[in-house]
Amino acid sequence: MPRVFSGIQPTGSLHLGNLLGAVRNWTEGQHRADSFFCIVDLHALTVPKRPGEVGDATLELAQVLLACGLDPEVCTLFVQSHVHQHGELAWLLQCVTAMGELRRMTQFKDKSEGKDFVSAGLFTYPALQAADILLYDTDSVPVGEDQRQHIELTRDVAERFNHRYGDTFVLPTATVPAAGARVMDLQEPTNKMSKSAGSDTGTVGLTEDLASVAKKFKRAVTDSDGEVRYDPAAKPGVSNLLSILAASTGGEPAELAEEYSQYGPLKSDTADAVVALLEPVQERFGELRADPAETARLLRVGAEKARSVAVDVMARARANIGLLPLT
């Protein structure tokens, strides 16, 4: 079976972009691959956090992911900081990553722009992400479009390491969905929907009240020409609704456009499709919230499974570099 790995940050609550761009592919693909899904709490620390904030968000995110359909009997769900090899390999990879490569990362540019405090961790973040992926001999990384650049860097770093120290890492490939790879903000449809940077009325949370979700779609920004057409450059708002509808129902955005002559029905059908997607997730989330100890137990089992793979790959990396073994 191919090995799949992906990660998600415990920052703010999960939104529709995370679900359609990544998590839905995780749940659908988990039976076809040996899958590892990681809550990347160390990545969340690259921007300042209150004491306790990341731990609480990690537990809640685990419950949302389980509610979305990740099955801990089938895949390995775990927390990054529970497997110490992530930090250890990240250091080795930082030493084969060029400053220039890190400077080119658009996520760093977006997240650092205009900030008073920019941590060194935010800059070297892609090396930690590369460590996450390479620690599991990963073949495929299911992510949204915004992560493609980080996966390409991971390949480059792995190739450089292999060239310098001998064959060590498997080269991974990004798997990006056909529809839903880049869900845009409902109010500012030229910006991606985002936990940290998006507008409140333009971001749809997975655990948000469903009446409020429907209202956000009905108030989504479109344009004034009145024609339903899939054209992301000229009609970003309408095209975003068509993409969300397609990703939620399994259709194709340009074909769906032909079924509508007005914005009103498109908005209400998209709202209905998303509400139908979220309803069972929210029900299950409510049940899981009642038993946090069970979620913590599942995460412990996940960390043990993850560690059993990570230990071997880490040992291979150390041996190939030729660090003096501890005897």
Positions in the binding site for ligand TYM (CB under 6 A): 5-9, 17-18, 20-22, 40, 43, 129, 132-133, 141, 143-144, 146-147, 150, 181-183, 192-193
Report d(CA 29, CA 4) in Å as an integer: 9
Q: How far is the CB of 183 from ligand TYM (least distance, A)?
A: 4
Q: With respect to ligand TYM, which residue has the nearer C-beta, 130 or 262?
A: 130
Residue nearest to ligand TYM (CB): 21
Under DSSP, the state recorded for 104 is T
Task: State the catalytic residue, choosing from 109, 111, 115, 218.
Answer: 111
Nearest residue (CB) to ligand TYM, 150 versus 235: 150
Q: Which of 192, 216, 235, 267 is catalytic?
A: 192
Give 22 or 153: the residue with its C-beta nearer to ligand TYM: 22
CB of 224 to ligand TYM, least distance (A): 25
Any catalytic annotation for residue 218?
Answer: no
Q: Is 70 helix (H, G, I), strand (E, B) or coil?
A: coil
| Nearest distance in Å: CB 14, ligand TYM | 8
Comparing CA positions, the residue from 107, 177, 178 lying closest to residue 142 is 177
The token pair that represents 172 in the structure block: 């991974």
Three-state SS across 205-219?
ECCCCHHHHHHHHHC
DSSP per-residue codes, 137-190? T-SEEE--GGGHHHHHHHHHHHHHHHHHH-S--PPPEEE--SSSTTPBPSSSTT
Cα separation, 65 vs 157, whole angstroms: 30
Q: Is 305 a catalytic residue?
A: no
Pull the structure tokens for residue 88.
């250890």
Euclidean distance between CA atoms 136 and 10, whole angstroms = 21
Report the residue number, 202 or 324, with the smaller CB distance to ligand TYM.
Answer: 202
Beta strands in the chain (DSSP E): 3-8, 34-39, 76-79, 140-142, 173-175
**Both tokens assigned to 218:** 């009905």
Question: Rounded to the nearest whole angstrom, what is the least distance from the CB of residue 225 to ligand TYM in the complex?
Answer: 25
CB of 42 to ligand TYM, least distance (A): 9
Quick check: helix, strand or coil at residue 69? coil
Q: Is 195 a catalytic residue?
A: yes
Identify which of residues 186 and 257 has a Cβ nearer to ligand TYM in the complex. Answer: 186
Active-site residue set: 111, 192, 195
